Structure 1
């Protein structure tokens, strides 16, 4: 018994009897294949040589050439027998005191009604080489159904001697020739044989029916194998059924030789039919020496036949041999095995052996490593099962067999798939395993860890299973998160940050997520983002879109879609941002002026089919004719409105009038302009603006008054609401501020007057120049300190009275203040 795919070692004894030349073995393994075996033993070449003499072939049955096929086959038959005998036969030569007269049955002559030929005398006192037997071959028309006949020689001796030592020598010489060194020949009941000659004759009418081919399987039913007939008759010529030692082993109708008895497959002595085995023996076991040879077959000289040759005295070489071979069976079953032995020259023997029982071997199965999957997503597994099997197809067997494999996959959720596996590599007798695989796919409906059982079954029922696990995760969710829930439509391309996340295990590959906005007129996102391998999220930007419509806050839904994941979405509020813009065409106007200025008011939205009311607020409303509201009519994006300024009849500083413009749904706007007083300046001398100290003169003292005031004041502004001139008018230029300009205007006026006086040729009046004692030191100190701190330089004016010694010097400090 052996398993399929395993090596079956064959060792069997065989018998090479009947083969000529070295034996070879061919084993038919019963599965449609055969291979050569190794033959050990049984290839012996004995000492005996049979010389075939065709000198008496008067009918030329064997032709005249050594290449005649009948001669070749006859020689092969002779060699087949002789090579099995290890006897040592002494040479034969003429000896003194004895005359040798050999006779044989003539192979080509004889009575028509007798198989035995006419006795024919051979030359007296022959010379025959050691180990040599001469057999004469010929042919004639044999009686009846006889196809051939063979026999030994008759040897007679005549001793011519004088009694005494001479006759003793004569007897010894006779015994030596007769026994050829085989002592058993001379026994009263001979136990050995040592022939000198023999003869063999064939039936001439049968010649066309004789088969002379090498291949015994090619013999036609109407042909008689010449090799089988020749071997049969040569055995008779060598004593089987014809010699005295044969008779020694015959008792009645049975052969009692111990070797034949041992080879006989029946019980007891071997039954005979004359000089042949009884037909009952032929029916029981192979033998060439039965009474007849059938047409259409080749019969080799059998172990039983050689056993009889040994019993009659031949030293038969051991014909036993051992055949060894090895083989792999591809499928289980019972296989009849036979061994065919062939001789390198000729001969074939077949032996049937006990059937070989081959058992099936289940395949081995490999499954994938544990893995993960996702609910609702197909899990396709290539090579979910890879298997090997020592069995393989036997297409030449009877019947032919083929390897097929079925598989089942139990997914662990109540679903079982099945199919036929693919054979990827066909196995063979060299030991290559049959290798196959199969794929499967499945979609799980619920999460959890599933044990997947994979089973593969061969065509003979051999089953193997293996398992692995799939961790089924819930369907991943795409979730969205915004950095802020509300954006304003004017926030632009980076209005908010959007984080796109994928739940569940991170993926080993990039995943593309498609993004969309249900209202791209309000907010947009990129068409897609990629969550990189090994990551679970990605960020991108949300862009706000200013639609220039007065549409209020809008709700936008952002959506993310990815393969194998649930869709994610998030709401975003896009606040409307429409604005009012306002401006005045004039930066400053005088109070009490008609159509003093123009307000240009605009709205940003393009949908202007509706009118809006713009409210006006601010401290300056009361000083204009604008009122507290205006309208932008339907179809108007902007409007220009001319208005008056109102005179409050109060002296006052120039003021900036601030206005705020508001409308429902709009960001407010602001605008301003400066309003100038139309009253006489409160702090300017109404009689002579250059007469600061109101003494009815314009002198350097007026300039010094301004300069000293600049040094004293904390602010240059003069506010009529909180201050009174008290007879000193510092505001020379009437701008309600005491600045260097006021002093310079005085100085310039003094210079102008001097220049005018010089042009008229009149003596200028010597101006009065004086500084009150109470202020002199203080003013001088302030003046000197300011001068020392100045980085501007000096401004000078000619002397007020035409004398350079009376010139006034002053400067501007870094803040623009005069000193």
Structure 2
């Protein structure tokens, strides 16, 4: 029969992101690309299969494996600079492929000499294709990913490419032709028949490539995503994102079939994505940045995490056999605690939806205005769940230092990991009330005379407080007047001196008040005079009522910052004038500007005078106005904690708070930073989220041009994915 001669280009247009071993699988030739010997390549492939299958297929688990090959890497990134990087890539790859049930046919060189082929891998940095040995092979269920480090540009942190094969044959018989066709079919489908359909519904790559940025000014975090310091780039997120492209995200024909009108319409993805519309995209290979505002995803051009359920659903639409996420759900059960600096320690708890079969560690990231070691320590630094245990605790040890710091807080946030997925409640806020600030006795007390005219807080470096009683349920709003934010904190305390309204960092405070309850609106000491507008949803009459109790310093009846015999005498005079042993709060006989209800029981009795006398008889304080305490005039200092019941009874309704706060009312302010502080880290590309990746699109187009110029004529241009990661990708909330 007549010889049959053809030369074909076979390309799998998809990125798949997979990670393998913590040590190199396959030979290493740092001198250059494409110098892998046939013997070592075969040995490496066989070794991977023998070591990594380990009976998992028989157990119904994923058998898909990725061989990370570092033989083309000439940098020192994965060796001397960051030797842990290989292990981290292995972990990320395992986390991804463990969700797949696909089986892929082996790829071996054709046995007939008349069938010639040229395997190649893309150098994502240059856009050139590098020939691999013709003896290259991939074992069954194996994808080979070549990894290298190289200096990238701008905000690019990683690049990914995929396989390209040239196949030609000059066959003397039909059997040879049949083998050539079977070989080509196996290259393009690896047994996944949907990949060969006129409209492909599946994808099965053989080889891919990932390049990691090696510039010395890039600071990498190799820990769990979002656990690094501000300014670090998350290595795991970069690898996961690039690997998803190797898997076909944004690149495979089976992905493109669902793209129309700038949206992705895959049914599995739409089942996860909230709303009725298809998922918006940014270009052809990434989801729009707005998607992550609705549902977690790492597949925007501005990724910041591991693959989410939406990302896996899209891979499912591409053709991968994705299994359900069987990880238990973890969430915080102790969500908010407010403690004095003298509290010693507080416990934060987390629970799992199901007890683990073996012990697991759930990582956390800690952020906030409180400083580790000087303000607190945490033990342990992860939630440690023992086998069969659904609850774990973490202890925050509060450091009682002598520094005047105002209010400080720390947020403990759960991190998504390969052992547990995140539930609804992922954060615990611990607020620490400082006890080293201005003494309460130095606070300027004002009567509530709120109106449409703004109040003025003087810049005399003394705290100012308004003590008032709410006569109706209302919402109190306090807004800084002027364009600049407040220089110091302001807040609202309830009758137990607990902060119930916190300055939000934007010059505004809003808090709900209950009828017939007493409150304190306190402004911390400031050096600049500032004005604040007060508003009440129930009108000013609901908040323009004097509090009958000096919540900050209950025994200071006159509100002059001192506790003296005059305070007890004022109470006695009120009772004598009324000719009664008891006067109800609101009685006309009570003179405004005095805080007669020392005990806080809504009435004036001889017990209130006794409470003042007991305060005068208490121990002297270093907070007194003079060098020594005077029995007739002392600055407020609560009694020292005592085990006797008599002293406990004498303390009244505020005994616990007074002891813990040591006579000081701290600044209460909690400013939560945004996840990404773009202004601080120079994310000029993020000024407009709608166009944040125009630079990336231009980068891809540049590579397309390079492909047409530098790729071998034997191969069609292949795709390159250019990924940009913010310098502030790890900025913590």
TM class by smaller structure:
0.3 to 0.5
Who wins on radius of gyration, i.e. which is larger?
Answer: 1
**Larger relative contact order, structure 1 or 2 (CA cutoff 8 Å, min sep 6):** 2
TM-score by length of 1: 0.35
Bigger helix fraction = 2
TM-score by length of 2: 0.39
